[in-house]
Amino acid sequence: MAQVKVFYEPEMELLTVFWQSPRPNQLCTELGDGVILIKDPDSGEPIGMELLSYRPGDARFDSVSVEIGAAQSAA
């Protein structure tokens, strides 16, 4: 089972979610509306995300979907 780590810094209004371990040289890409995708620098695989200007109840978090694991094919 995957372990998800969530960090909330209320004074900075920053919510960070990692579903893999942070990397020393991770890459960050802003997707728009203050949503930052964090990727592994070698594989480009998403490992986490940040929400800027986050406050509890923020509607943007409802629009983020993360699926972990391999897709199953229909037999």
Q: What is the C-alpha to C-alpha distance for residues 64 and 7, in angstroms, rounded to an integer?
A: 16
Please report whether residue 68 resides in a domain.
Answer: no
Please count the CA atoms within 13 angstroms of the CA of 38 that sit on its side-chain side.
17
Give the count of domains, the chain. 1
Please report whether residue 23 resides in a domain.
Answer: yes
Is pLDDT of 65 > 50?
Answer: yes
Return the pLDDT at 56. Answer: 79
Q: What is the mean pLDDT of residues 43-72?
A: 75
Please report whether residue 72 resides in a domain.
Answer: no
CA pseudo-torsion sign 45, 59, 16, 13? positive
Q: Which domain holds residue 28?
A: 5-57
What pTM was computed for the model?
0.74
How many angstroms from the chain centroid is the CA of residue 57? Answer: 17
Over residues 12-54, the pLDDT tens digits come to 999 999 999 999 999 999 998 899 999 999 999 999 999 999 8
